[in-house]
C-alpha cells in the first residue's frame, strides 16, 4: 500500500537532495537546475534580507518527494518581471497591506518553465499539480499573505491552474525561431529587405571598430574574464538605476556547476574584452540573460546580445532563442511575439474582482498590441 500524500513547506531549497530533485521533470530548463535554485540561496542572492524568503512547497509520499513548487514570500515586487506595482498601490490607498505575498517563479528570471514540478514517473501528474495549487492557495489564505502569483507558466501547468479559478494574465515576449537555417546569411534571406539591410549595416559598424568575438563556457572562462562578466552585469544595472541583486559568488558557482550550459560571448579588441553577453542553454533553447560593456560602440549591443546568440543557435542547431523580457526593438531583428502567462490568487474578494476587470481591459489592449506587431512582421511573406 502506497503512503498517503502530505504537503510540506520547505524553508530552504538546499534541503532538497540532488538525487530527489533529478526525479522531477524540469523540462530541461537551466533555471530549474538544482545548481541554479540552490545557488541563489547558498550565495545570499536571495533570502529574508533580500525580500525573497524561500517558502517552497513539496508533496511527499512518506519521505519521497512527489511534486514541488518553487515559492517565495515577497516583501516587494522587484525581480519578478510580471508587474503588479499598480495592484500594490491600490491596496495601499485603501489602507490594506499587499506585502507579504507569495510568488512561484524563478528569481530575477523572466523565463517560462514548469512551476508545478512532478516526478517523471508520476501516474497522475495533473492530480499532483492540483494538490500543489490547493496547498499554496490554502497557505496564502491562512498565512496572512495578500495573494499568490505563479509567473511565466509552462503549458504543462495550465490545466491544474485553470481548474482552480485563478485570475489569468498574459503578456508578450520576443523569441527567435530556427527552422533550420544553414548560416546567418540564410536567416537574413528570410527577412524583408529593409530589415536585412539594417542588420548588415549594424554588423559592419562593429566589424569596422576592429572587434572580434569569442565564445566561452563556464569552465573555459578565465577568472579575469568571469570577473569582467560580473562587472558588466553590475554596470548595466547601475546605468539604468537598478540594483544588481545577484552576487559574484553566484556567477562563479553557476559557471562551475552548469559549465557547457553557461555560455558567454566576449567582444574583444586587441585581445581585451570590452563587452559581454551571458546566456544559459537548456534542451533546444538558448536563453539570453545579461549583457554589458566597458565602452559604447555603435551596434555593439545588438551584435553581442542578439546576433551572436542567433549565430550560436544556428551553429548548435538550437530551435529557440529567448532573449528576455520586453524589447519591441527585437522585432526588426528577427524576433517574433510569443505569449507568456501568469496566474494569480487574490485573497481579498473585492480586490479580486477589481483586478479581474483590470485584466480584462489589459487583455483587450494586448490583443490590439499584437495586431500592431503583426503589421511590423520582419519576415518576407513567402518565408513567414
Q: 33: Cβ–Cβ under 8 A, 6 or more apart, which residues?
A: 26, 257, 258, 261
Q: Give the C-alpha distances (Å, rounded to integers) separating 192 from 17, 188, 380.
A: 50, 8, 5
Question: Domain 5-172+339-373 belongs to what architecture?
Answer: 3-Layer(aba) Sandwich (3.40)
pLDDT tens for the chain, residues 1 to 384 = 478 999 999 999 999 999 999 999 999 999 999 999 999 999 999 999 999 999 999 999 999 999 999 999 999 999 999 999 999 999 999 999 999 999 999 999 999 999 999 999 999 999 999 999 999 999 999 999 999 999 999 999 999 999 998 999 999 999 999 999 999 999 999 999 999 999 999 999 999 999 999 999 999 999 999 999 999 999 999 999 999 999 999 999 999 999 999 999 999 999 999 999 999 999 999 999 999 999 999 999 999 999 999 999 999 999 999 998 888 899 999 999 999 999 999 999 999 999 999 999 999 999 999 999 999 999 998 765
DSSP 136-147: HHHHHHHTT-SE
With beta carbons less than 8 A apart as the criterion, state whether 278 and 264 touch: yes
User: Are the folds of 5-172+339-373 and 179-318 the same?
Assistant: yes
Residue 1 pLDDT: 43
Residue 157 pLDDT: 98
Q: For the whole model, what pTM was predicted? A: 0.96
**Within a 13 Å sphere around the CA of 106, how many CA atoms are in the beta-carbon half?**
24
With beta carbons less than 8 A apart as the criterion, state whether 297 and 73 touch: no
Residue 327 pLDDT: 84
Pairwise CA distance, residues 322 & 32, whole Å: 16
Pairwise CA distance, residues 140 & 11, whole Å: 15
Pairwise CA distance, residues 178 & 88, whole Å: 40
Q: Where exactly are the structural domains of the chain?
A: 5-172+339-373, 179-318
Pairwise CA distance, residues 4 & 258, whole Å: 36
Q: What superfamily would CATH give domain 179-318?
A: Gcn5-related N-acetyltransferase (GNAT) (3.40.630.30)
Amino acid at each position: 500500500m502506497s503512503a498517503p500524500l502530505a504537503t510540506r513547506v520547505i524553508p530552504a531549497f538546499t534541503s532538497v537532495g540532488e538525487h530527489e530533485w533529478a526525479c522531477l521533470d524540469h523540462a530541461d530548463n537551466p533555471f530549474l537546475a538544482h545548481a541554479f535554485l540552490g545557488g541563489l540561496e547558498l550565495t545570499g542572492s536571495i533570502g529574508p534580507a533580500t525580500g525573497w524568503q524561500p517558502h517552497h512547497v513539496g508533496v511527499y509520499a512518506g519521505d519521497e518527494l512527489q511534486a514541488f513548487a518553487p515559492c517565495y514570500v515577497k516583501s516587494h515586487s522587484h525581480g519578478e518581471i510580471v508587474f503588479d506595482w499598480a495592484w500594490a498601490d491600490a491596496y495601499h490607498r485603501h489602507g490594506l497591506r499587499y506585502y507579504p505575498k507569495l510568488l512561484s517563479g524563478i528569481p530575477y528570471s523572466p523565463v517560462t518553465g514548469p512551476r508545478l514540478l512532478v516526478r517523471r514517473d508520476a501516474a497522475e501528474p495533473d492530480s499532483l499539480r492540483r494538490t500543489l495549487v490547493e496547498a499554496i492557495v490554502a497557505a496564502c489564505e491562512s498565512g496572512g499573505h495578500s495573494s499568490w502569483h505563479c509567473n511565466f507558466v509552462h503549458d504543462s501547468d495550465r490545466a491544474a491552474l485553470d481548474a482552480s479559478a485563478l485570475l489569468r494574465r498574459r503578456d508578450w515576449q520576443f523569441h527567435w525561431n530556427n527552422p533550420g537555417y544553414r548560416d546567418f546569411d540564410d536567416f537574413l534571406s528570410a527577412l524583408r529587405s529593409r530589415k536585412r539591410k539594417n542588420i548588415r549595416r549594424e554588423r559592419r559598424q562593429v566589424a569596422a571598430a576592429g572587434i572580434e568575438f569569442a565564445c566561452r563556457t563556464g569552465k573555459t572562462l578565465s577568472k579575469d574574464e568571469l570577473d569582467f562578466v560580473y562587472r558588466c552585469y553590475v554596470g548595466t544595472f547601475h546605468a539604468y538605476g537598478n540594483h544588481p541583486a545577484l552576487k559574484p559568488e553566484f556567477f562563479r558557482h553557476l559557471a562551475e556547476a552548469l559549465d557547457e550550459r553557461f555560455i558567454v560571448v566576449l567582444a574583444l579588441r586587441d585581445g581585451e574584452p570590452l563587452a559581454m553577453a551571458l546566456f544559459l542553454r537548456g534542451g533546444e533553447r538558448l536563453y539570453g540573460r545579461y549583457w554589458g560593456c566597458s565602452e559604447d560602440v555603435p551596434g555593439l549591443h545588438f551584435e553581442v546580445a542578439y546576433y551572436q546568440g542567433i549565430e550560436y543557435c544556428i551553429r548548435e542547431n538550437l530551435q529557440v532563442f529567448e532573449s528576455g523580457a520586453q524589447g519591441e526593438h527585437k522585432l526588426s531583428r528577427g524576433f517574433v511575439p510569443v505569449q507568456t502567462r501568469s496566474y494569480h490568487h487574490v485573497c481579498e474578494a473585492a480586490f479580486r474582482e477589481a483586478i479581474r476587470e483590470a485584466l480584462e481591459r489589459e487583455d483587450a489592449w494586448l490583443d490590439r498590441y499584437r495586431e500592431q506587431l503583426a503589421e511590423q512582421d520582419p519576415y518576407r511573406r513567402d518565408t513567414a
